[in-house]
Structure 1
Amino acid sequence: MAPSTARKSLRIGVIMEEIQLSDIVGIDIFGNLSHAFYTKAIGFDPSYTTYEPQTLDIEWLYIASTLDPTFATPSLHYVPTVTYDTCPRDLDIVIIGGPWPDHRPASADRFFKEAWAKTRVWMTICTGSMWLASSGVLDGHRCTTNRTTLGPAKGAAPKVDWLDQRWVVDAKPYDGEGEGELWTAGGAGAGIDMIAQYCIKNFGDKFVHTFSLDGLEFRPDSIHGQFYKS
């Protein structure tokens, strides 16, 4: 029997309500690995066709409190595609940017609690981990946040094991097949590097560099790593 050539499918939920836009730019690393991006890229170099089996079918869900235009810095308004109440709970990945501490909608709290064990991979950037921690799901887990807010994070969520690292990877509960993963990053630059490393680990070094990191000029392995240098 011939091996399956079906592309891997991902449903990625992105929470970028009331955040700094730079927190979430790492999602473009995933985007460049999509089959939709590939169909455009082969116009530059037909030899890219060898990578087609590795490309991903990605469904993006942009989640917010309502479907009304939603704010992110700097004075950007985007249109969400799904609300916290209507979003499926069993996504493949949820990515959360970091809002101000006064942004804690009850519908987001419900979504975090209900989707926590149903979605295998959760990622936070900057103070997104503090937002997720406010729901209680991070209690007992190793996490990080923006380095400048580690003190407030420890005060607000003392049951979380807050670490002074650029990003932290920990196991989490997951109701489906495979191991649940929690990836938390510090500031926006650390979030880019974290997402790059996740993609390299899961989708292949050469493919990720060729289709995403090299074109975007992201160099997570040349200067920075998982730990601060001082």
Structure 2
Amino acid sequence: MANTAKKLRIGVMMDTVQLSDVIGADILAGFRLESIKEAAAFAPELVGDLVQYAPDMEFFFLSSTLDPTGTTCGLKYAPNMTYDDCPRDLDIVLIGGPWPTHRPAAADKFIKEAWEKTPVWLTTCTGSLWLASSGVLKGYKATTNRSFIPTAQQLSPDVDWVARRWVTGPKPYTGESSLKPELWTAGAAGCGLDMVVKFCYDTWNHQLVDLAVKEGMGFDVDSKRGQDY
């Protein structure tokens, strides 16, 4: 897929989450237009003509307020968008995993209003429980951290919880996008990283993703790890 004039807007729900659950945002950022242009400036022989395939991206790091927000390792980040103010018609939403006690009302409202207006949703670990708590996953097949599946079944029995490293399938979408409307849910953080890498290869130019993910970040994209444990 060649890049388009439209900037992809990516929302990251990461307040109080396991930091490693949302590193997929950095995987995406590795081959965005800005990053590839920077790479081309000092290593044009590596980039070649791949700039034409690099998507322009904008990231919204979401929380209930713009106050510094913590993650599991104690790192505090400054959100750049609140749930109340964030556009509902994004391109991708990435959700990390907080404890099931973390359910801000503003986040619940955002999920319900953005679910059918945003084509791609990616969750890692208990991020799927967060998504399910809003009611939008009723009848869907999904996964979460393998050890949390019994908890997920108790909290959201109307979701078909399965023990796989990641699960993907179509979802409703009311807008127009170059992205295929899909829900991707993953198990623990390592599963989520593999899932995001798979999503990237399914969606963008393979050489572009290779440059950023395989060469730039050192991911073992030739691994035999798949959807099954």
TM over 0.5: yes
* Paired position in structure 2 for 1:56: 55
- Kept in 1, the 8 Å contact 2:50–2:207? The answer is no
CA distance in 1, matches of 2:3, 2:86: 29
- Kept in 2, the 8 Å contact 1:38–1:52? The answer is yes
* Paired position in structure 2 for 1:142: 141
CA distance in 2, matches of 1:5, 1:132: 29
| Root-mean-square deviation over aligned CA pairs | 1.5
- Kept in 2, the 8 Å contact 1:139–1:160? The answer is yes
Does residue 11 in structure 1 map to residue 12 in structure 2?
no
Does residue 212 in structure 1 map to residue 220 in structure 2?
no
Please give the secondary structure, in 2, of the residue aligned with 1:56: coil
Deviation at 1:149, TM superposition (A): 0.2
* Paired position in structure 1 for 2:110: 111
**Larger mean Cα displacement after TM superposition, 165-174 or 177-186:** 177-186
Q: 1:102 to 1:77 in 2, by over 3 A?
A: same
Deviation at 1:214, TM superposition (A): 2.4
Please give the secondary structure, in 1, of the residue aligned with 2:56: strand
* Paired position in structure 1 for 2:39: 41
Deviation at 1:29, TM superposition (A): 1.4
2:25 to 23, 27, 47: 27
Amino acid aligned to 2:104: P
Give the percent of matched residue pairs that are identical in Structure 1 and Structure 2. 50
> What TM-score do you get using the length of structure 1 for normalisation?
0.93
Aligned residues: 225
Amino acid aligned to 1:101: P
- Kept in 1, the 8 Å contact 2:93–2:118? The answer is yes
Deviation at 1:207, TM superposition (A): 1.5
CA distance in 2, matches of 1:219, 1:5: 25
**Larger mean Cα displacement after TM superposition, 181-190 or 214-223:** 214-223
CA deviations over 1:54-74 (Å, ceiling 9, x no partner)? 111101111101000001121
Amino acid aligned to 1:34: R
> What TM-score do you get using the length of structure 2 for normalisation?
0.94
Deviation at 1:180, TM superposition (A): 2.2
* Paired position in structure 1 for 2:223: 222
User: Where in structure 1 do 4 or more consecutive aligned residues deviate above 4 Å?
Assistant: 4-8
* Paired position in structure 1 for 2:188: 187
